[in-house]
Amino acid sequence: MMAKRNFLIIGHRAHTVADWKLDDICGGAGRLDVLVRSITASLWKSHGIRRDTDVWLSLRGKPKPDITIHFSGKNIKYLNPDERSTAALIRNGLIKLSEKKGPLETSPGVTIQRESFEELVKKLPKPALLSEKGDKEVKSNYETFVLGDDRDPTDDEMEILKSFDKLKIGETSLLTSACITLIHHFLDE
């Protein structure tokens, strides 16, 4: 069953193999730091995990094809608030997936598979896109929130997302993880 809150973050350059070191998640891993911070913002409260929330990462960097990593708030274990250990969950998952297609649960609550961004988008419930150019507000009738990493969706991605409502959070362009914290706040109220 799908969670009531889902965050999908597009990792435009995030590598789909573990050809990077844990000391180099910004550079060698293709801005994985943005994705890892987004996982922390999505799943961590002050003390404990948001069990009603899931995170979906679409890794779209080298080599092709795309990989989806699903973090289930309900089932996750061994998630800590620091960036390095969350990046290690991703790295170990990529090593275990290797040449396989998946889905493969590589750690409790972490599932990895080869799946295109388009396929992933289709299966998520009541979706909307977060965009600085949006014309709607965050509301609880949406269940999936799609966000860019350090870059907005490409033209090809926008073609896939074109029918989605576009939600704006004020006039300032914010970090992805900051947007996620604000979305939780709006929905919690």
Binding site for ligand SAM (CB under 6 A): 130-132, 134, 147-148, 150-152, 168-170, 172-176, 179
Whether 126 contacts 143, CB under 8 Å: yes
Q: Whole-number minimum distance, CB 152 to ligand SAM, in Å?
A: 4
- Measured from the CB atom, the residue of 55 and 94 that comes closer to ligand SAM is 55
Q: Whole-number minimum distance, CB 11 to ligand SAM, in Å?
A: 12
- Measured from the CB atom, the residue of 54 and 149 that comes closer to ligand SAM is 149
- Measured from the CB atom, the residue of 126 and 168 that comes closer to ligand SAM is 168
Please state, in angstroms and rounded to a whole number, the distance separating the CA atoms of residues 38 and 7. Answer: 9
Whether 18 contacts 127, CB under 8 Å: no
Q: Whole-number minimum distance, CB 136 to ligand SAM, in Å?
A: 10
- Measured from the CB atom, the residue of 106 and 131 that comes closer to ligand SAM is 131
Region of 108 on the Ramachandran plot (φ > 0 left; ψ -120 to 50 alpha; else beta)? beta
